[in-house]
C-alpha cells in the first residue's frame, strides 16, 4: 500500500472517532505546548538578562586594592600582609596607568579613572538641587553612556586644560530653573555649591538625561531621594577634581577597557600579575586584584540554560504521558478493528503493510497534536513573556525539535500496537467477535 493511501486511511479513521482522537492528542498537545512555552519564556528572560549584563560592559575590568593574601593547598585564603591604614604609597598612580598602557598596548582600549569630590545642595537664590560632584576622565565619561540633551560633553581639551566645566542632569535643571525650563538656556550658567568649608563653582557646558535604570546599573543602588530631594551627579574633569582635593593623582580603584571582549578574563589576570610584580611586590600590606564581569556573564548564561533545560525536562514528562495515551488508544483501536485486519490479511496484505498502517496512524495523531501544541505553546510563551516585561520570539530550533519529538513519539509508541496487529493470525482475526 502506498504511503499516501496509508495517510488517507489514517485520517479517515481519526475523523470517524473525533472525540477519542482529540482526547488522545491532548497529552501530546499539552506536552509540546508546555515545552515550547517554557523555552520561549526562558529564552526571553535569558536574552534580557544577558543584554542587561552586556550593557554594563563585558570588556570592563575593575581593579582595586586588597589585603595581601595567599591560597593554601586546600583553596583557603590566608592574609599575609600587615593590617594597617592605607598610605599614599599604597594607591594606584598615573605612573602605573602609563606603565600599563605601554606594556599592554592594544590589549587596553582605555583606562577609566574617577574621583569623588563632594555632595550636597547646589543653590540658586531660594532654589536648590542635591548633587554629587564627581571627577571623571574621558574614558570614564564614555563608559557612563550619557545621553546629551543640550550642549556638549566634556572634551579632551577641557580635561587637559583643567577647565572648570560641568555636565548636569535634566533633573538638576528642573529643580533649579523649573519643570519647563529650556535646557539650552542653562548653558554657560554656573553650578555653585558649598560643602563644609569648601566652595565649588563650575560652568555648565552640557545637560544629560538622568536615567534611574542607568543609575542602578552604574552604582548598583536605587536613586538617592525623589522629586526635589533627588540627588544626581554633576560631572567635572578629573584633573579639576584632583586640584580641588589638593592631592596627587592617587586612585583606590580604576577600570580597564579591554581591547576585545574575548581577552577580558585573561587580561585581568595578566594586569593583576604585572601590577603585583612591578609595584606591589615589596608592599607589606596591599596587593592589586581585579574583577571581570565576563566570567559572571558566562556563568549566569550557563546557569539559566541549565535551569531552562531542567524545567523543560520536567514539562516533557507530560509528553511521555501523552505518548502512553497514544499507545493505549492504538491498542484499543486495533482490538476494535480485529476483523478488518483479518480481512485485509486474508486478501493478501503483508505484515509490513499492516504494521505501517498503524504506525502512520499513530504518527499522524502525534504530528497533528504537535502542530497544535507548537502554536499553543508559542502563543502562551509570548503572552507570559509580555506579562513579565520581556520580548519573546519562539525559537525555531525548539519548534523543530518539538515537532521531531512528537513524530518520534508517534513511531515509538505506535510500534508496539502496530507490531501486535501485524502478527495477528488472519483466521483467528476473522473469528473475533
What pLDDT is attached to residue 222?
Answer: 45
- The span from the CA of 433 to the CA of 387, in Å, is 56
Q: How confident is the model at residue 70 (pLDDT cuts 50, 70, 90)?
A: low
What pLDDT is attached to residue 131?
Answer: 93
Same domain, 12 and 104: no
Helices and strands in the chain: count of H runs, count of E runs: 14, 15
Same domain, 148 and 65: yes
Q: How confident is the model at residue 217 (pLDDT cuts 50, 70, 90)?
A: very low
Same domain, 335 and 226: no
Of the residues 258, 293, 328, which one is the last residue of a structural domain?
293
Mean predicted confidence (pLDDT) in 227-253: 85
Same domain, 146 and 197: yes
Same domain, 38 and 90: no
HSE at residue 150, side-chain half, CA atoms within 13 A, is: 18
pLDDT tens digit sequence for 324-342 = 888 887 787 777 777 777 7
Of the residues 293, 309, 326, which one is the last residue of a structural domain?
293
Of the residues 293, 325, 358, which one is the last residue of a structural domain?
293
Residue-by-residue DSSP string for 194-244: EETTEEEEEEEEEEE---HHHHHHHHSS--BS-GGG-BEEEEEEHHHHHHH
By residue range, what is the domain housing residue 327? 3-53+298-431
Q: How far is CA 15 from CA 65, 126, 297, 422, in A?
A: 75, 82, 52, 23
What pLDDT is attached to residue 56?
Answer: 64
Same domain, 47 and 77: no
What pLDDT is attached to residue 69?
Answer: 75
Same domain, 323 and 220: no
Which stretch of 173-182, 350-359, 422-431 has the lowest confidence by average pLDDT? 422-431
Same domain, 169 and 234: yes
Report the domain count for the chain.
2
- Does the pTM surpass 0.85? The reply is no
Amino acid at each position: 500500500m502506498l504511503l499516501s493511501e496509508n495517510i488517507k486511511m489514517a485520517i479517515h479513521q481519526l475523523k470517524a472517532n473525533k472525540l477519542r482522537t482529540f482526547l488522545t492528542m491532548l497529552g501530546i498537545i499539552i506536552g509540546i505546548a508546555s515545552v515550547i512555552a517554557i523555552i520561549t519564556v526562558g529564552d526571553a528572560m535569558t536574552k534580557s538578562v544577558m543584554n542587561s549584563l552586556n550593557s554594563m560592559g563585558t570588556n570592563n575590568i575593575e581593579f582595586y586594592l586588597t589585603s595581601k593574601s595567599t591560597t593554601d593547598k586546600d583553596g583557603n585564603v590566608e592574609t599575609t600582609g600587615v593590617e594597617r591604614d592605607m598610605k599614599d604609597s599604597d594607591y594606584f598612580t598615573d605612573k602605573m596607568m602609563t606603565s600599563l598602557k605601554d606594556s599592554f598596548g592594544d590589549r587596553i582600549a582605555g583606562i577609566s579613572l574617577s574621583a569623588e569630590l563632594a555632595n550636597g545642595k547646589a543653590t540658586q537664590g531660594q532654589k536648590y538641587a542635591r548633587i554629587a560632584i564627581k571627577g571623571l576622565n574621558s574614558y570614564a565619561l564614555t563608559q557612563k553612556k550619557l545621553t546629551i540633551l543640550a550642549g556638549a560633553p566634556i572634551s579632551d581639551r577641557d580635561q587637559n586644560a583643567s577647565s572648570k566645566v560641568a555636565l548636569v542632569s535634566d533633573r538638576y535643571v528642573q529643580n533649579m530653573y523649573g519643570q519647563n525650563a529650556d535646557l539650552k538656556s542653562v548653558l554657560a550658567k554656573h553650578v555653585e555649591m558649598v560643602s563644609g568649608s569648601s566652595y565649588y563653582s563650575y560652568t555648565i557646558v552640557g545637560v544629560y538625561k538622568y536615567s534611574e535604570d542607568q543609575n542602578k546599573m552604574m552604582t548598583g543602588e536605587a536613586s538617592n531621594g525623589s522629586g526635589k530631594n533627588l540627588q544626581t551627579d554633576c560631572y567635572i574633569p578629573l584633573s579639576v577634581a584632583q586640584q580641588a582635593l589638593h592631592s596627587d593623582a592617587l586612585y583606590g580603584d580604576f577600570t580597564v577597557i579591554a581591547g576585545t571582549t574575548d581577552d577580558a578574563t585573561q587580561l585581568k589576570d595578566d594586569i593583576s600579575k604585572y601590577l603585583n610584580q612591578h609595584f606591589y611586590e615589596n608592599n607589606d600590606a596591599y596587593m592589586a586584584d581585579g574583577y571581570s564581569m565576563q566570567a559572571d556573564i558566562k556563568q549566569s548564561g550557563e546557569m539559566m540554560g541549565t535551569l531552562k533545560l531542567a524545567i523543560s525536562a520536567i514539562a516533557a514528562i507530560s509528553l511521555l504521558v501523552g505518548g502512553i495515551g497514544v499507545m493505549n488508544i492504538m491498542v484499543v483501536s486495533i482490538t476494535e478493528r480485529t476483523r478488518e485486519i483479518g480481512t485485509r490479511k486474508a486478501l493478501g496484505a503483508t505484515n509490513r503493510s499492516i504494521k505501517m498502517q498503524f504506525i502512520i496512524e499513530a504518527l499522524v495523531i502525534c504530528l497533528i497534536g504537535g502542530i497544535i501544541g507548537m502554536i499553543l505553546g508559542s502563543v502562551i510563551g509570548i503572552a507570559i513573556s509580555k506579562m513579565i516585561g520581556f520580548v519573546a520570539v519562539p525559537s525555531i530550533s525548539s519548534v523543530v525539535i518539538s515537532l521531531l519529538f512528537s513524530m518520534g513519539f508517534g513511531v515509538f509508541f505506535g510500534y508496539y500496537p502496530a507490531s501486535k496487529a501485524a502478527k495477528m493470525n488472519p483466521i483467528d482475526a476473522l473469528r473475533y467477535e
